Chain A
Amino acid sequence: MIGWRFGCYATQVKAKITVTPKKAVLDPQGKTVQDALAHMGYKGVEAVHVGKYLEIELQDGDKAAYQKQIDDACHKLLSNPVIEDYHFTIE
């Protein structure tokens, strides 16, 4: 039994979304983290990209339908296609 909520339905499906800055976009956070890692002595770090991770809990349902819905939401709201890329899984 997983995730019983106030409405007494089980949250069984989860969309896991990763949003990252496009390569062409300046990523000063990534650069700062990269410099910090180098300063700490970690070897071999070539680039760091700082993005976002989102989890959306969904009611048990048709994953294919959710796939379409989440892709639409990623395109319209969760990412900005001008500056970001996204990918997601539905589990």
Chain B
Amino acid sequence: MNFAVLQFPGTNREQDAVHILKNVLGHSANLVWHKQESLGNVDAVIVPGGFSYGDYLRTGAVARFSPIMQDVQRFAASGGHVLGICNGFQILCEAGLLPGALVRNKSLQFRCEHVFLKTATRNSPFTAKIPEGTLMRVPIAHGEGCYFADEKTLNDLKVKDQILWQYSDAKGGLTETANPNGSLWNIAGVLNESRNVAGLMPHPENASEPLLGSADGRAVFESLVHSLANRANFQPA
């Protein structure tokens, strides 16, 4: 598979994303500078974490107008798979590719720690290979990861099975104490209606090898690779 990993001024996790895709999973992954106007011939796009444009104005607000994002819009509209991680999630929400928005953590603190994620649905190209009934232990590192959407949007997400991950305790309970940022419904990651664009605040790329303390996050990328290889199953309606 051939992945594009976007790079904006202030992006800082792009090499981590390239590392998991290239060195761990053995695929091709290339950085694409935000001023480029074309993604080229790629199978999927990763919008990595960081602090694009210094988080000025709002997280992701300026990056969303970078030239490359026009092509990401086109790519997504034609059914292409896009995964936004952390700041990438914020950018995709600002771009309108994902519902809702990320606001300041309820605690007002930057949270950098490991969390447990419960996979809410395996019916997506990003979760299909996550072992059923398991939790993922992955790190978070953000100050603005509190997921917000209005009530109607939240209900739509539930009805249309678009919630991918929720913060949980070690037993899978969706408790308030397990919620690191105040996200509504403990939401850590969501999917678009066409099921080809996803975003999450935690960093699965930083939990993809035993050396890093957890390899649970690897299943997210394995899911994506598997789905791309069998993409007929996930063509948007």
Q: Residues of A at under 8 Å CB distance from B?
A: 21, 24-26, 28-29, 32, 77-78, 80, 82-83
B42 to chain A, nearest CB (A): 27
**How many chain B residues touch the partner (CB < 8 A)?**
20
Contact among A29, A78, A83 with B148 in the assembled complex (CB-CB below 8 Å): A83
Tally inter-chain residue pairs, CB-CB below 8 A: 36
Beta-carbon nearest neighbor of B104 in chain A: A28
Contact among B62, B103, B105, B106 with A83 in the assembled complex (CB-CB below 8 Å): B103
Beta-carbon nearest neighbor of B106 in chain A: A28
Instruction: Give the distance in Å from the alpha carbon of A25 to the alpha carbon of B65 in the complex.
Output: 24
B57-68: contact bitstring with A at CB < 8 Å (1 yes, 0 no)? 110011001000
Instruction: Decide: B106 and A77 in contact? CB cutoff 8 A.
Output: no
Instruction: Decide: A77 and B57 in contact? CB cutoff 8 A.
Output: yes
Q: Residues of B at under 8 Å CB distance from A?
A: 57-58, 61-62, 65, 93-94, 100-101, 103-108, 146, 148-150, 182
Neighbouring B residues of A21 by C-beta, 8 Å: 103
| Known contacts A77-B65, A82-B148, A82-B149, A29 near B58 by CB under 8 Å | no
Contact among B94, B105, B107, B150 with A24 in the assembled complex (CB-CB below 8 Å): B150
Instruction: Decide: A80 and B104 in contact? CB cutoff 8 A.
Output: no
> 26 pairs across A/B with beta carbons < 8 Å?
A21-B103, A24-B150, A25-B148, A26-B103, A26-B106, A26-B148, A26-B182, A28-B104, A28-B105, A28-B106, A28-B108, A29-B104, A32-B108, A77-B57, A77-B61, A77-B62, A77-B65, A80-B58, A80-B101, A82-B93, A82-B100, A82-B101, A82-B148, A82-B149, A82-B150, A83-B103
